Amino acid sequence: MDTPSGLEGVVEEVVRYTVMANRFRFREAINLIASENVMSPLALKLYVSDFMHRYAEGKPFKRYYQGTYYIDHLESMTNELFSRVFEAPYADVRPVSGTIANASVFRVLAGPGEKAAIAPVQAGAHVSHTKFGTLGALGIVQVELPYDEERMNVDVDGAVRVIEEVRPRFLVLGGSVYLFPHPVEELSTAIKSVGGKLVYDAAHVLGLIAGGAWPNPLKRGADVMTGSTHKTFPGPQGGVVLFNDRDVYKRVSKTIFPWFLSNHHLHRIPATAVTLVEMMLYGRDYASAIVGNARSLAESLAAEGFRVVGEHLGYTRSHQVLVDIRPQGGGAKAAKLLEEAGIIVNKNLLPWDPPSAVQDPSGIRIGVQEVTRLGMGRGEMEEIAGLMARVLIKGEEPASVRRRVAELRSGFQRVHYALDPGRYSVETLLDLMT
């Protein structure tokens, strides 16, 4: 049956935009978004499978549908690999995002009207931790901990006083914007003294933990660790929950389904398993390279004249770099100009910004995990800093800088720290589906 002319145009536009997006991201742009990454070729090939079409409600070997034999084994294997990599007694890979992972845990640990203590936004809290996000949707009362501007972190002494006074049901550390590890050990003692639990949101640093470049919160007093599987951990988009506490694990696993999802996007499971194996093989080198590149980029940006946040503390210990971009017109303007030059970052609140500044904050947030996986190193970090300076400090036209950005990106087309797909019989997947 022929496609009617009007709909044919729609299909052509869908194809065109998709092709253009791929060309831009894979050939022309330098992506520095801190919450993104690229899968390995093998993981990507496994991602495009018949599992995309299927359901498997419930837990492995306890499903509500038939025909789940293979995904049952794959999901169990993936949970076992997560437990092994992160030294966690229990794991559940079913959450389809880090936010769903958080919601499943929060729902179990507190009820409506009960209190949860969170790191302040300045210390990295994600919107899902707040009254404006998942916490508020569940009716849990947000209690924000004090912030130490000098240490760029939670104020430990002040936090202990708040915990002892408020007696929250749980405490959340970790998040989406933080350069230095949060004080897990110190606050674990405090929250447990009032009968609460410590939840660590490792969405951004999961890969750094896997590679030993960031402290493992589960070894330092966290009861639960949530995460995203597509940031410094370079797998498909998805979530995971890891547990020290068996009781919490059992309760959360009964809450993920049916409270927060039905099917859990099965095609990401084999791709996640392969990524776990890649992190076991190459994760230590990869994580070390990420942290080294982040420090190199921060130093290079400072040398170009940018105000890089955290200089007195060594800039960063994570994959992230924060820049106070007020002298260059603020975060919104800077991010837009860089996008026009093919350098992708995001505007971001900095510690001194009020929440009302969210649309035009003081800063930009940069992440180096994707360019690191593409093989870039210190020399490229220095050049990226110079390209950013050409646009934001020297005032060159973004279009002229964009040509050099594309030239630089064209030299980095291969995913590193990854298994060779040629060693495995994956080419038949698409043949079997068509």
Chain segment 234-250, per-residue pLDDT in tens: 999 999 999 999 999 99
Q: Which residue has the higher pLDDT, 2 or 134?
A: 134
- Asked whether the predicted pLDDT for residue 355 surpasses 60, the reply is yes
Residue 354 in domain:
yes
Task: Verify that 352 and 249 share a domain, yes or no.
Answer: no
d(CA 135, CA 61): 32
d(CA 294, CA 412): 18
In angstroms, what is the C-alpha Rg of the chain?
A: 22
Beta strands in 168-318 (DSSP E): 170-174, 197-201, 224-230, 234-243, 307-308
Q: pLDDT band at 434, cuts 50/70/90?
A: low
**Which structural domain range is residue 210 located in?**
45-278
Task: State residue 351's pLDDT score.
Answer: 87
Task: State residue 123's pLDDT score.
Answer: 82
Residue 2 in domain:
no
Q: pLDDT band at 322, cuts 50/70/90?
A: very high
Q: What tokens does 265 get?
A: 């996007």
Q: What tokens does 322 get?
A: 């924060």
Task: State residue 105's pLDDT score.
Answer: 98
Q: pLDDT band at 5, cuts 50/70/90?
A: low
Task: State residue 217's pLDDT score.
Answer: 98
What's the angle, vertex CA 118, arms to CA 117 and CA 122, rounded to 5? 145
CATH number of the domain within which 256 lies: 3.40.640.10
**Phi, psi of 339, deg, nearest 5:** -60, -40
- Asked whether the predicted pLDDT for residue 428 surpasses 80, the reply is no
Mean pLDDT for the stretch of residues 342-369: 92
CA distances from 118 to 143, 173, 195, 278, 378 (A): 6, 7, 16, 33, 35
Residue where a domain terminates, one of 262, 278, 294: 278
Residue 57 in domain:
yes
Task: State residue 426's pLDDT score.
Answer: 74
Residue 422 in domain:
no
Residue 425 in domain:
no
Residue where a domain terminates, one of 253, 278, 303: 278
Mean pLDDT for the stretch of residues 375-399: 98
Give DSSP secondary structure letters for 162-209: HHHHH--SEEEEE-SS-SS---HHHHHHHHHHTT-EEEEE-TTTHHHH
Task: State residue 429's pLDDT score.
Answer: 67
Give the mean pLDDT of the chain: 95
pTM for this prediction: 0.95
Give DSSP secondary structure letters for 92-142: E---SSHHHHHHHHHHHH--TT-EEEE--GGGT--GGGSTTTHHHHTTPEE
Percent of the chain with pLDDT over 90: 89
CATH number of the domain within which 291 lies: 3.90.1150.10
Task: Verify that 192 and 262 share a domain, yes or no.
Answer: yes
Residue where a domain terminates, one of 278, 299, 316: 278
Task: Verify that 147 and 240 share a domain, yes or no.
Answer: yes
Task: Verify that 315 and 361 share a domain, yes or no.
Answer: yes
d(CA 325, CA 346): 12
Considering its fold, how many domains does the chain have in total?
2
> Is the separation of the CB atoms in 347 and 363 below 8 Å?
yes
Task: State residue 433's pLDDT score.
Answer: 63
What's the angle, vertex CA 400, arms to CA 394 and CA 404, rounded to 5? 100
Q: pLDDT band at 251, cuts 50/70/90?
A: very high
Task: Verify that 168 and 99 share a domain, yes or no.
Answer: yes
Task: Verify that 272 and 386 share a domain, yes or no.
Answer: no
Q: Report which of 95, 68, 99 is spatially closest to residue 82, judged by C-alpha positions.
A: 95
Other CB atoms within 10 A of residue 229 CB:
29
- Asked whether the predicted pLDDT for residue 1 surpasses 60, the reply is no
Task: State residue 356's pLDDT score.
Answer: 83
Model confidence over 69-119: pLDDT tens digits?
Answer: 999 999 999 999 999 999 999 999 999 999 999 999 999 999 999 999 999
Task: Verify that 240 and 124 share a domain, yes or no.
Answer: yes
Task: Verify that 358 and 271 share a domain, yes or no.
Answer: no
Mean pLDDT for the stretch of residues 125-139: 93
Task: Verify that 211 and 249 share a domain, yes or no.
Answer: yes
Residue 194 in domain:
yes
- Asked whether the predicted pLDDT for residue 149 surpasses 80, the reply is yes
- Asked whether the predicted pLDDT for residue 392 surpasses 60, the reply is yes
Task: Count CA within 13 A, CB hemisphere, residue 416.
Answer: 17
Task: Verify that 248 and 356 share a domain, yes or no.
Answer: no
3-class DSSP state of 224: strand
Model confidence over 272-311: pLDDT tens digits?
Answer: 999 999 999 999 999 999 999 999 999 999 999 999 999 9
Q: pLDDT band at 431, cuts 50/70/90?
A: low
- Asked whether the predicted pLDDT for residue 34 surpasses 90, the reply is yes
Task: Verify that 295 and 158 share a domain, yes or no.
Answer: no
Task: Verify that 128 and 211 share a domain, yes or no.
Answer: yes
Task: State residue 4's pLDDT score.
Answer: 66
Q: Which residues contact 359 (CB under 8 A, 6 or more apart)?
A: 332
Other CB atoms within 10 A of residue 142 CB:
18
Pair type for strands 58-59 and 62-63: antiparallel
Task: State residue 89's pLDDT score.
Answer: 97
Residue 10 in domain:
no
Residue 246 in domain:
yes
Q: pLDDT band at 194, cuts 50/70/90?
A: very high
